[in-house]
Structure 1
Amino acid sequence: MTEIRHIVFDIGRVLIHYDPNIPFSRLIPDAEERKWFFDNVCTHDWNIEQDRGRTWQEAEALLIAEHPDHAENIRNFRRYWHDMVPHAYDDSVAIMVGLIESGHDVTMLTNFATDTLAEARKRFDFLERPRGVTISGEVGMIKPDRGIYDHHVAAFGLEPSATLFIDDSPRNVDGAKAAGWQAVLFTDAKTLQADLQRLGIKS
Structure 2
Amino acid sequence: MRLVNIERITMNIRNIIFDFGGVLMDWNPRYFFRDYFNDDDKMEYFLTHIAQSEWNEEQDRGRSLMEGTNIQVQKFPDWERELRAYYDNWHVMLKSDIPQNVEVLRKLSKTNYHLYGLTNWSEETFPYALENYDFFQLFDGKIVVSGTEKLIKPDPKIWHLLLERYDIHAHESVFIDDNPKNIEMAESLGFHTIQVYPTTDLEKELIGLGLKF
TM-score using structure 2 length: 0.92
Q: Which amino acid is the alignment partner of residue 178 of structure 1?
A: S
Distance (whole Å) between structure 2 residues aligned to residue 85 and residue 150 of structure 1: 28
Deviation at 1:169, TM superposition (A): 0.7
CA displacement, residues 154-198 of structure 1 (integer Å, 9 cap, x when unaligned): 111111111100001111111111122111101247521111111
Match of 2:173 in 1: 163
CA contact (8 A) 1:109 1:134 kept: yes
Match of 1:69 in 2: 78
What do you get for the CA RMSD once the two structures are aligned?
Answer: 1.3
CA displacement, residues 16-64 of structure 1 (integer Å, 9 cap, x when unaligned): 1011101101111111111111111110110000000000111011011
CA contact (8 A) 2:31 2:92 kept: yes
Structure 1 residues 43 and 185, CA, compared in 2 at 3 Å: closer, same or farther? same
- 1:16-165 → structure 2 map (5 Å cutoff): 16-131=25-140, 132-165=142-175
Distance (whole Å) between structure 2 residues aligned to residue 147 and residue 126 of structure 1: 27
Unpaired runs of at least 5, structure 2: 1-7
Structure 1 residues 147 and 191, CA, compared in 2 at 3 Å: closer, same or farther? same
Distance (whole Å) between structure 2 residues aligned to residue 190 and residue 97 of structure 1: 17
Unpaired runs of at least 5, structure 1: none
Distance (whole Å) between structure 2 residues aligned to residue 102 and residue 88 of structure 1: 22
TM-score using structure 1 length: 0.96
Local SS of the residue matching 1:17: strand
Q: Which amino acid is the alignment partner of residue 138 of structure 1?
A: T
1:181 aligns with 2:191: yes
CA displacement, residues 102-156 of structure 1 (integer Å, 9 cap, x when unaligned): 2210111000001111111111011121131000001111111110110110111
Q: Which amino acid is the alignment partner of residue 158 of structure 1?
A: I
Distance (whole Å) between structure 2 residues aligned to residue 22 and residue 199 of structure 1: 34
Local SS of the residue matching 1:121: helix
CA contact (8 A) 2:51 2:83 kept: yes
Deviation at 1:101, TM superposition (A): 1.1
Deviation at 1:6, TM superposition (A): 0.6
Distance (whole Å) between structure 1 residues aligned to residue 200 and residue 109 of structure 2: 18
Aligned-residue identity in percent: 28
Distance (whole Å) between structure 2 residues aligned to residue 152 and residue 102 of structure 1: 21
Distance (whole Å) between structure 1 residues aligned to residue 106 and residue 166 of structure 2: 19
